Structures are given as structure tokens and as C-alpha cells.
Chain A
Amino acid sequence: MNKSKWFFTPVLIWLGLFLIVPMLIVVAMSFMQRDTLGNVVYSFSWEGYKTFWDSLYLGIYWDTIVLSITTTVICLVVSYPLAYYLANSSPRVQNWGLILITIPFWINFLIRTYAWVLLLRTQGVVNSLLIHFGWIDEPLQMLYTKGAVLLGMVYNFVPFMVLPLYVAIEQIDRRLLDAASDLGASRWKAFWHIALPQSKAGIMTGSVLVFVSTAGMFVVTDILGGSKSSMISNIIQAQFLGARNWPFGSALSVIFVLTSLVLIVLFSRVMKSRSDRTREGGKA
């Protein structure tokens, strides 16, 4: 018992120093003020939180939540069939599939995102092709739109969804599907009643990973969204690096961390109650 305690000590020190302490600093900072030069004034103030109620920031806050949820849902819908197919394939196909999914990670994230600029801009590959084939006369404005940001997010975070889903689906005992089929379930019903609930842990993990990553992302918004489609992270980044308003940036961070927490808790409640309902249904 004592031994295992010591075993965890390095992890605890690491988490304490680099996660808990910085978070506490951010929380403390969010209740402070700044002077005209951008220095932090160490006195209590609601200033940061008050500024948040400005309609501009509320709008961006709301947009961020919508975009993060949309990205998560699209990633889930795109990834589930892929993960299901992979998990049910021969080991050879599984290996190749996983390699293909992880290969993009070998290329720098910025370069990958800039590649989308080349594809989407007015004289980009997509527009040139569409004009070449005569489907459109004028190039489409695709870059610097919310759609481009969404595309960039989904593109970058699909692997975060596929991998946990794949792991969860791969662990499902195939004999359970046989048993369902033996008890009269069609393939679709066996999937719906057995495979899907059994992969819930993967859906949870993947969704949280994608949601949190999207909500905290500012590079994709910067590159593909231009100045028009900012997200909360862009604002936070700007407060720390540009506007030098650390207390306000901290307040925004705290608000968004809390929002994410609430959403994740709600989500896990919904996932749980789904199985509760089937339980109730079975008894009725």
C-alpha cells in the first residue's frame, strides 16, 4: 500500500506544479485589475467578469460553444462508421487504417492547416477546378468563413474521435452480437442495442477530447477564419499577448473552463440516462 503511494508521487508533483498551481494563478488573476500600461494591479475587482457581459464577447462565447458542439457531432458522425469498419476488419486492414489516420500527425499542424488555405482560397485548387469544369463562373468565397473554420476543426480533430471509438468498438465481445442475432435481432438492431451502448465509453472520451480541443483552439480560427470569425480562445490569446489585459483574459478562461465542465457533466448525464431509460423500458 505504502509502495504504491510513492509510485504516484512524481505524477502528483507534476500535476501540482504544472496544472493546479497555474490554474489557481489564473483564477486569482481573474479577480484583479490592470493599470493603463497593462501591468497587473494586485487588488480585488469584478472588472474582468463585468467586461464579459459586453454583447460582443457574449456573441463570441455563444459562437464558440455552437462551433465546438457542431465539430464534435460531425466528428462523431464521420468517425463512428470508420472506427466500426476498422474494428471489424482483418488485422492487416486495421494496421493500415490506423497508420493512415495517424500519418497526418507527422506533418506539422500549422503546415497542415495552411494547406487548406491553398485549397480554399479564391485562386485555390478547389475554385480553379470548379471554374475549369464550368460549374461556377465566379470563384466562391470559402476561405475566411465559419464553414472553413468548421472544416479545419473537423479535419484536425477527427483522429481524436476515431482512436477512442476504435478502441471501444474493438473491445466489444463479438459473441454478444452473435447472441443478439441468435435471439432474433437483425444486424441493425444488434448494432443499436448491443454494439452502440457497449461503445459508449469511446463516444464519451472522443467527444470530450474533440469538444475541449475545439473550444481551446485559436490557430485554426486565425488561419482559416480570418478576423471575422473569432472564437473565445482568440480573444483570450489577444488579451494576454496583444491587449495586455491579463485579468480579463483570465476571467474569460475561468468562465470557459466552467462552461466546458458543465457541458461535459450534462453530456455524461445524458449518456447515462439513455441506459437508465432502456432499463426502465425493460421492466415495463
Chain B
Amino acid sequence: MIKKGMVLMIELVEIEKQFQGQVVVKPLSMVIEEGEFLTLLGPSGCGKTTILRMIAGFEQPTSGNIVLAGKVVTDNPPNERDLNLVFQHYALFPHMTVEENIAFGLKMKKIPKEQQKERIAEAVAMTQLTALTSRYPHQLSGGQQQRVAIARAIVNKPKVLLLDEPLGALDLQLRKNLQTELKHLQRTLGITFVYVTHDQEEAMMMSDRIVILNNGQVEQIGTPKEIYSSPRTLFAATFVGENNIFTSPQGSFAVRPEKLRPQRSEEGSMKSGVIQDVLYLGNVHKLMVVLDQVGEQQALTVTIVLDSTDEESWRVGERIGVNWNPKDEVVIQS
């Protein structure tokens, strides 16, 4: 799994977490490389934040070990771990200015004043906060607060930066901008990022690797491309992007909406059905097709995505045939 020349940054060894006898994170082992952007992706309650908090030191794993840069840190409190966490709601200190907030970590580590100044200036420039250093957090917008939270973390030059849904409270446009900024920042700094989100699009866009979690269990670990093109479980197949799941006597398989092709005549098609809805989304349009029932099987609605090169006019209620290339079928573990 680890490529040559890569340095191991975090190693999770069979870590498990129970709260009052209830398992929230099932035993999990994995390694995170230096400089990697790793995302823990899953719906709320899947255990992703708990994993992050265990790495940060705010939760103790019930069993298992956490190794950070070759050192076992399982029993170390957060202030003795060389990593920083960007909190979900920023957790900026309200009685301190932007500059004091950013200086806090350096002050705690007793970095000499001169060096503090330099590093703060650097972090402030990198996060475009130079004009705002003497403001208080309540005088800043959500996006600016977010930047302060990031500056406060990266100024410490941690080995690993943990981010707990850092963009969750921002509106869509700002989110998109900050996604690009964050990704750029990570490339520039070369710091390992462990990122928690429930937004699959965000995960796809930013990550080197994604860990898909559901009910405290890892569903799949892989690059965005692997996750999208060959999801291993039903959950992975449906959580990331849209998917159509077919069941056959040999088992289940998935075909992405853009891999399905509609044809005007039902003759010679693999499946047939009635168009239930046509949705125009600008660059693409979608057909929702209710497939004809075959035997005992339940009625299935599939989504077909057509790009703007498709000039046919599809009408609701029309009977059509549906085809796909068998090589686009992805076998799903049941």
C-alpha cells in the first residue's frame, strides 16, 4: 500500500471506541502518509469525528494504539501531541484578538518573541488576514473566522492538521472558494491533513484518499477515482455520487447514471421502462425511468444522466429502452 519513499505519519492499530458499552468505532487499522490529504467521509453518527478526536487526544480509544511519527501517543493528552485540530465551530477565543488567538499556541510552547512575530506574520499572510489582526472574533464574518482557526493551527507548524468539518457552517459559494484555498494551502505547506466531512463532493474534490465510514465501520478506503469507479459496498456505491443498483441472480451490481444510455425503441434493449421525469440542470439533464417489472423483482427507478451533446427531446410518459456496456457494471459486495 505504501509507496517507496513515503514516510509514515500516523498509524492506527486496531483502535476501537465504545461509549457505555456501545461500539461507535469498530476496530480500525490504517496508515496515513506524510503530506497526504486524507478524508474521513460518512453520514453523521458514523464515527468519523470520534476517530479524529482520538487522533487529537480528546478521546481515549477503548483498545488499540495510535502512533504519530513513530511514537506511540495513545495515552498522551492533546497538548503533548505534535498536531493541531481545526474545530468544527472554530472555537476561537472570544476575549482575544485575531493576533492573540494565532499567537496562543506559540506562547504555550514558549517560542521566542522575535520568532513568534515572524511566524504569525507568515500565517496571517498565508490566510489573508493581515488587515484583520487586531479585530476580535465577533467582529469577523464566518469565512474570516474560519481562516483565523486555520492560521491558529498552522502557525504551530504541526506534523498533522486535523480538520473537523471546517467548512460545515459556511454557505455554498464561500465553501467552494475555501475548498480550493485549503487544498492549495495543504500543497504549499506539505502538512498531512486529516479531514472530516459528510459532504461527498468536498471529499472527492480535495482528498488524496478517502475513508468511507458507516456505523463505525470502514466501508472502503481508496483514492477518489477508485471510490467512484469501483465502489466495493452498497453503501460506498450509493453514498458517493448517484448510482443505480441492479440485482441479478449472480448478485448485485451498480451502473453509474452517466453510463446508462436511453434508446427510443424498446426492441433489443437490455431493459425497458417509462420516463417518469425529465430534469434539466444546465450542463446535464437527467431522466428518471421506472423500469418494467420482471418476475418477482421490485419496480426499479433508474437515473440516466445525459450531457449537453444529447439533443433528443425526451417526454415524460414515453416508453424507452435502457442499455449499458457490461464493462461498466461494478460488482457490489452484499
Interface of A toward B, CB cutoff 8 Å: 173, 175-176, 178-186, 189, 193-194, 197-198, 275, 278-279, 282-284
Decide: B156 and A179 in contact? CB cutoff 8 A. no
In the complex, how many angstroms separate the beta carbon of A231 from the nearest chain B beta carbon? Answer: 37
Contacting pair A184 B156 (CB below 8 A): yes
Per-residue A-contact encoding for B92-134, CB less than 8 Å = 1, 0 else: 1111110110011101110001000000000000000000000
In the complex, whether B31 has a CB less than 8 A from a CB of chain A is no
Given contact pairs A179-B93, A197-B95, A284 touches B84 in the complex (Cβ within 8 A): no
Number of A-B contacts (CB under 8 A): 69
The 5 A-B residue pairs whose C-beta atoms are closest, nearest first, are A282-B100, A183-B105, A184-B108, A179-B91, A175-B91
Not counting A182-B58, A282-B99, A282-B103, a sample of 9 additional A-B residue pairs whose C-beta atoms are within 8 angstroms of each other reads A178-B91, A179-B85, A181-B77, A183-B156, A184-B156, A189-B108, A194-B93, A279-B96, A282-B107
**A51–B287 alpha-carbon span in the complex (Å):** 97
Q: Of B104, B113, B153, which one neighbours A193 at CB under 8 angstroms?
A: B104
Contact at B95–A282, with CB atoms within 8 Å? no
Measured between C-beta atoms, what is the minimum distance from B189 to chain A in Å? 17
Given known pairs A185-B79, A282-B99, the reply for A173 and B91 (CB within 8 Å) is yes
**Chain A residues positioned under 8 Å from B109 (CB to CB):** 184
Chain A contacts for B108, CB-based, 8 A: 180, 183-185, 189
Given A175-B87, A279-B97, A282-B100: A183 and B152 interface contact (C-beta under 8 Å): yes
Note all chain A residues with C-beta closer than 8 A to B153.
183
Point out the residues of chain B lying under 8 angstroms from A189, CB to CB: 108
> Looking at A178, A275, A282, which has the most chain B CB atoms within 10 Å of its CB?
A282
A279 / chain B contacts, CB cutoff of 8 Å: 96-97, 100
Chain B proximity of A186: nearest CB distance (Å) = 6
In the complex, which residue of chain A has the Cβ closest to the Cβ of B134? A283
Question: Nearest-CB distance from A179 to chain B (Å)?
Answer: 4
The distance from the CB of B159 to the nearest CB of chain A, in whole angstroms, is 13
Per-residue CB contact flags for chain B residues 60-100 toward chain A (1 = under 8 Å, else 0) read 00000000000000000111000011010101111111011
Contact indicator per residue, chain B 276-303, by CB within 8 Å of chain A (1) or not (0): 0000000000000000000000000000
Which one of A178, A197, A275 contacts B78 once the chains associate, using CB atoms below 8 Å?
A178
Residues of B that sit less than 8 Å from A by CB: 56-58, 77-79, 84-85, 87, 89, 91-97, 99-100, 103-105, 107-109, 113, 152-153, 156
Q: Which residues of A contact B113 (CB under 8 A)?
A: 284
Please classify the interface of chain A as helix (H, G, I), strand (E, B), loop, or mixed, using the class held by over half of its residues: helix
Expressed in whole angstroms, the Cα–Cα distance for A178 and B53 within the complex equals 10
Chain A contacts of B91 at CB under 8 A?
173, 175-176, 178-179
Beyond A182-B78, A185-B79, A186-B79, is A283–B99 a contact (Cβ under 8 Å)? yes
Q: Which residues of A contact B94 (CB under 8 A)?
A: 176, 198
Q: Which residues of B contact A194 (CB under 8 A)?
A: 93
Q: Within the assembled complex, what's the spacing in Å between the Cα atoms of A182 and B162?
A: 11
When chains A and B are docked, how far (Å) is the Cα of A184 from the Cα of B155? Answer: 13
Bound-state Cα–Cα, A284 to B107, Å: 12
| Residue of B with least CB distance to A178 | B58
Contact A182 B104 (CB under 8 A): no
CA A73 – CA B153 in complex, angstroms?
Answer: 38
Q: How far is the CA of A176 from the CA of B92 in the complex (A)?
A: 7
Q: Contact at B100–A278, with CB atoms within 8 Å?
A: yes
The reply to whether A184 and B79 contact each other, CB–CB distance below 8 Å, is yes
Complex formed: what's the CA distance from A197 to B103 in Å?
Answer: 17
Q: For A275, give its contact among B58, B89, B95 (CB under 8 Å).
A: B95
> A117 vs B58: C-alpha distance in the bound complex, in angstroms?
51
Using CB atoms, name the residue of chain B closest to A179.
B91
Q: B100 near A182 (CB under 8 angstroms)?
A: no
Chain B neighbourhood of A284, CB < 8 A: 113
The minimal Cβ–Cβ distance linking B254 to chain A, given in whole angstroms, is 40
Contact check, B96 vs A282: say whether CB atoms are below 8 A apart. yes
A-B contact pairs, 27 of them (CB 8 A): A175-B87, A176-B93, A176-B94, A180-B93, A181-B58, A182-B56, A182-B58, A182-B79, A182-B84, A183-B79, A183-B84, A183-B105, A183-B153, A183-B156, A184-B79, A185-B104, A185-B108, A186-B79, A189-B108, A193-B104, A275-B95, A278-B96, A278-B100, A282-B97, A282-B99, A282-B103, A283-B99
